[in-house]
Amino acid sequence: NPPVTPVDPAASRALFERAQAVTPGGVNSPVRAFSAVGGTPRFIRSAQGAWLTDVDGARYVDLICSWGPMLLGHAHPEVLAAVSAAVARGTSYGTPTEPEVELAEEIVARTPVEKVRFVSSGTEATMSAIRLARGFTGRDVVVKFAGCYHGHVDALLASAGSGLATLAVPGTPGVPESSTALTVVLPYNDRAAVEAAFAAHGDRIACLITEAAAGNMGVVPPEPGFNAFLADICRRHGALFITDEVMTGFRATRQGYWGIDGAVEGWTPDLVTFGKVMGGGFPAAAFGGRADVMSRLAPEGPVYQAGTLSGNPIATTAGLTTLRLADDAVYDHISRAAETVKQGIAEAFTAAGVPHVVQSAGTMFSVFLCEGPVRDFADASRTDVGAYAAFFHAMLDRGVYLPPSAYEAWFLSAAHDEQALDAVLTALPDAARAAAQA
């Protein structure tokens, strides 16, 4: 390929300096700052379909898709039209509205949940689901897996202590030990660890929460039967089984990851959390599940939960329009696009002699720069972050915007057409060589 002359990100650099003066680290969510890969984060001015344009005028094929939500691509005309019409009717009333009912019906129709409650972020969804599980069961211990991210909920910001069924220590300053003392952190995909935890604490466990397929340590799918095993052990001990589908919901498949193995293996979650795609690029998220559990929420039941902007009419309109447009053809397209990119990645790294493994959960995937398989967080930690940083910047210089961290999933959209995919495939071989030289 001809040598590339990357655009100097002068305008992004200037904005980043201003941002750092008034915002911690210059960003409103840490991974945006490029801390893991170095360099200047690009400030995006606009986006259309599969493409981002930054403030210096550089264009990139977007493989982040706002960290998942933009299933249809950016600025989809029908979503924009529905949102514009909704905005013209006023932006928030603090009363019930019709789009909330319609979006709830759409979610109930697609997934195993019977009732849903809307919130504004995935963090709120998991926080509320855990409170509800504790309120419903009258128990206090929560089980989670190392490497699964469920938002910045105090009780869930815990990393594994020392091994099996260790009561967790906080993963960040600011979270008191008392907040994580009731959280048990286990290695993902490890049935023996789960059995031991339930043997030790079974009658105190309110819930086990897991990403339906892990996507926040890179993509690490549950091994066959693992989610079914979790559902079963929770049921036997009277604990609730919560699947976090904030990332996978309406993304991995039309029915989320549950559509891949829940529907096949016959497990049903008691509660599910959603976010990202269901908000169509606006702040909307939800938790839902069994009617008898959801009915414990205020005002029907005693477990309190609320939100000024929950079920916001603009956000629910964007989500509803997105989900209605997300038919089988959309998922087929994204699936095929993902196969094309995954194959390109494998060929490029193989040719460059870089150890790698590409792992998928439905239409989501990521690449680990180490030998596979990666089945838990300890495996994921073997990925070569230095090589990824070199790869990331070589892709960026060639007009492809990847997640600025080796531990994130890559996302495609219905708008990733041949032109966008060609741009990715063209950039990959040089970028893989850059990784080899890192």
Whole-angstrom Cα distance, residue 390 to residue 431? 8
Catalytic residue chosen out of the listed positions 62, 190, 257, 276: 276
Q: Does 363 bind ligand PMP (CB under 6 A)?
A: no
Nearer to ligand PMP, 40 or 216 (CB): 216
Q: What is the DSSP letter of 274?
A: E
Nearer to ligand PMP, 147 or 399 (CB): 147
Nearer to ligand PMP, 126 or 366 (CB): 126
Whole-angstrom Cα distance, residue 146 to residue 380? 11
Q: Does 126 bind ligand PMP (CB under 6 A)?
A: yes
Q: Please identify, among the stretches 137-145, 188-196, 239-247, 347-355, the one whose residues bind ligand PMP according to the rule CB under 6 A.
A: 239-247
Question: Shortest CA distance to 231 belongs to which of 289, 167, 159, 147?
Answer: 289
Question: Shortest CA distance to 211 belongs to which of 194, 234, 188, 228?
Answer: 188
Note if 115 is an active site residue. Answer: no
DSSP alpha helix (H) spans, 266-327: 291-294, 313-325
φ/ψ region of 271 (left if φ > 0, alpha if ψ in -120 to 50, else beta) reads beta
Q: Does 275 bind ligand PMP (CB under 6 A)?
A: yes
For the chain, the first-to-last Cα distance in angstroms comes to 20
Q: Please identify, among the stretches 3-11, 240-248, 370-378, 382-390, the one whose residues bind ligand PMP according to the rule CB under 6 A.
A: 240-248
Note if 244 is an active site residue. Answer: yes
CB neighbour list of residue 249: distance below 8 Å, 6 or more residues apart: 111, 212, 256, 257, 272, 274, 275, 276, 277, 278
Instruction: Name the residue number minimizing CB distance to ligand PMP.
Output: 122
Q: Does 122 bind ligand PMP (CB under 6 A)?
A: yes
Catalytic residue chosen out of the listed positions 54, 60, 144, 149: 149
The backbone torsions φ and ψ at residue 195, rounded to the nearest 5 degrees and listed phi first, read -60, -40
**Where are the extended beta strands (E) located within 165-290?**
169-170, 183-186, 205-211, 240-245, 271-274, 285-289
Whole-angstrom Cα distance, residue 113 to residue 294? 10
Query: Which string of x and - marks every residue 281-320 that binds ligand PMP (by CB under 6 A)?
Result: ----x-----------------------------------
Q: How many amino acids of this chain bind ligand PMP (CB under 6 A)?
A: 16
Note if 342 is an active site residue. Answer: no
Kindly tell me the burial class for residue 306, based on how many C-beta atoms sit within 10 Å of its own C-beta (0-12, 13-18, 19 or more). exposed
Task: Identify whether the C-beta of residue 285 lies closer than 8 Å to the C-beta of residue 319.
Answer: no
Q: Does 151 bind ligand PMP (CB under 6 A)?
A: yes
Q: Does 246 bind ligand PMP (CB under 6 A)?
A: yes
Nearer to ligand PMP, 106 or 211 (CB): 211
Q: How far is the CB of 123 from ligand PMP (least distance, A)?
A: 3
Among 12, 111, 123, 322, binds ligand PMP (CB under 6 A): 123
HSE, CB side, 13 Å, CA atoms: give it for residue 414: 23
Among 40, 121, 128, 383, binds ligand PMP (CB under 6 A): 121
Among 182, 247, 286, 334, binds ligand PMP (CB under 6 A): 247
CB neighbour list of residue 360: distance below 8 Å, 6 or more residues apart: 219, 221, 338, 342
Nearer to ligand PMP, 149 or 282 (CB): 149
Among 54, 56, 62, 244, binds ligand PMP (CB under 6 A): 244
Q: Please identify, among the stretches 20-28, 211-219, 288-296, 370-378, the one whose residues bind ligand PMP according to the rule CB under 6 A.
A: 211-219
Q: How far is the CB of 16 from ligand PMP (least distance, A)?
A: 22
Torsion over CA: 105, 221, 122, 391 (sign): negative
Q: Please identify, among the stretches 92-100, 232-240, 243-251, 326-334, the one whose residues bind ligand PMP according to the rule CB under 6 A.
A: 243-251
Supply the residues annotated as catalytic: 149, 244, 276
Positions in the binding site for ligand PMP (CB under 6 A): 67, 121-123, 126, 149-151, 211, 215-216, 244, 246-247, 275, 285
